[in-house]
Structure 1
Amino acid sequence: MTNTYLDLLAYFGIGGAHPGGFNLTKAILEDENIQPNKSVLDVGCGTGQTAAFLAEKYNCQVTAIDNHPIMVQKARQRFKKIKVPVMVLEEDVHNLGFVDNSFDLIIAESVIVFTDISRTLKELSRVLKGDGSLIMIEMTAEQYLSEKQQKIACSLYGINEVLNTEEWILRLHQAGLTQVEIINTPPELIKSEINDINPSIQLNMDLFDIWEKHNEFLLHNRDFISYRVFKCRK
């Protein structure tokens, strides 16, 4: 199914568009003991900003996946340009081509909400090692959302539902991720800063309208929708 918001990110080549941006990513990873022998999976890698950072800073074994061909293309361009050995694959997160217990660390930055959440979490739990960690940054309902607010969010972002914190934790537990920690972060969604961009040559003007609608949505719903960073283990 086509997702115009994800098309926006792909064709503009925006890195760090997730809540908190790339600065949050770096801050989270600083607290992880990532050694060169560790295998890391970047789920929904986009243009490869986080995967490149992991490979450069920690010299670990990074696999980056995305199901959007434009994202995969731009991630490969990035890795080739800066000469980092990241394996990038076009993959469906609902049906990953990896054996069980493959990765020490999985990171997903505003990705899972765009999928069938329960299926994705079960699949990520399957490929996560028994002593590994899943770190995910996800949109979260701060308080009750009216039916109208739910419809607006789901239509704009091409998603099926907006979960609150307790619902996320329940889905994680159901997927076999029994240890769930919430990492402290800034309290609200803010406009994404565009400081890492690789736009395609031809851009559909409709994409600019979607970007404006995205920023308007954040402005008018900041009391209702935020995000959480979850660190999960089996």
Structure 2
Amino acid sequence: MMNNPYLDLLAYFGIGGAHPGGIQLTKDLLSNEKILPNHYVLDIGCGTGQTAEFLTQTYVCRVTAVDNHPIIIEKAKKRLENRTELADVVKGNAQNLPFSENSFDLVLSESVVTFTDIDKTLSELFRVLKRNGHLIMIEMTAESPLSKSLHKEVCNLYGITDVLSEKEWTEKLRKAGFTHVEVISTPSELTQTEITDIALSENIGEELYDLWDEHTSLLEQSNIPLGYRVFRCN
């Protein structure tokens, strides 16, 4: 997940809740889960720690927040410095997590897996999840096959290798071992998430501002066949 200019953008801008639906979608999804104080939650690709902070404040559960970007880790630790009794911030790779099998009651992945080797990461998330636990995953999804030019544009912009359909995501989740894969009904349009949480770094390069403009321009294109899905798996 390193050496990706788009992830650098999120890190240097310190954007919290950059995933589709933002923090409000996260809150809505978690309100339907039975999260108890004795539960262990993994927030993979945690960003600046917005979701981890919400979890510790609302559910008083134990949260492990993992990311692989050093600037992101620094900002997450700063946000959670007064929550250390409940939140651990760990630098780690989603494709090779430093945790034992059956460690977590809930795994959250908010627009993360598509930036990794998808099969490896899904296998890792399955491995560290307790057998009666759940994975909630939000991911960009192709609503219909992308043209070659659009596929190339999207992959180059976000530093990814593919844009999967709902069916392809479901197949990969089942291949990783998840026996129950549910698609949670949400508005599926991929639109610009309102940014209300930001922690800017100093001396941000002009190229990252240009990249943000490219990202915004892409989402403003009419009839673009990109959306997102929320998957709940066990």
Measured after TM superposition, the shift of residue 81 of structure 1 is 4.9
Q: Which runs of 5+ in 2 are unaligned?
A: none
Question: Matched residue of 1:168: which SS?
Answer: helix
Runs of 4+ aligned structure 1 residues displaced above 4 Å come to 81-84
Q: Is the contact made by 1:150 and 1:161 (CA closer than 8 Å) also made in structure 2? A: yes
- Seen in structure 2, the aligned counterparts of structure 1 residues 41 and 221 have a Cα distance that, compared at 3 Å, is farther
| Aligned position for 1:205 | 206
Question: Matched residue of 2:138: which SS?
Answer: strand
* Partner AA of 2:151 in structure 1: Q
* Partner AA of 1:195 in structure 2: T
Q: Distance in 2 between matches of 1:222 and 1:111?
A: 24
Measured after TM superposition, the shift of residue 221 of structure 1 is 5.8
1:87-131 CA-to-partner distances (Å, cap 9, x unmatched) read 000001111110100000000000000000000000100000000
RMSD: 1.2
Measured after TM superposition, the shift of residue 30 of structure 1 is 0.3
Q: Number of paired residues?
A: 233
Q: Distance in 1 between matches of 2:222 and 2:24?
A: 23
* Partner AA of 2:37 in structure 1: P
Tell me the percent identity: 54
* Partner AA of 2:173 in structure 1: L
Question: Matched residue of 1:9: which SS?
Answer: helix
Q: Which runs of 5+ in 1 are unaligned?
A: none
Confirm or deny that 1:173 pairs with 2:197.
Answer: no
* Higher mean displacement: 218-227 or 132-141: 218-227
* Partner AA of 2:175 in structure 1: Q
Q: Is the contact made by 1:188 and 1:222 (CA closer than 8 Å) also made in structure 2? A: no
- Seen in structure 2, the aligned counterparts of structure 1 residues 92 and 222 have a Cα distance that, compared at 3 Å, is farther
Q: Is the contact made by 2:104 and 2:128 (CA closer than 8 Å) also made in structure 1? A: yes
Confirm or deny that 1:115 pairs with 2:116.
Answer: yes
1:144-192 CA-to-partner distances (Å, cap 9, x unmatched) read 1111111111100000100000000000000001100011111301112
- Seen in structure 2, the aligned counterparts of structure 1 residues 35 and 82 have a Cα distance that, compared at 3 Å, is closer
* TM-score, structure 2 normalization: 0.97
Question: Matched residue of 1:19: which SS?
Answer: coil
Q: Is the contact made by 1:13 and 1:47 (CA closer than 8 Å) also made in structure 2? A: yes
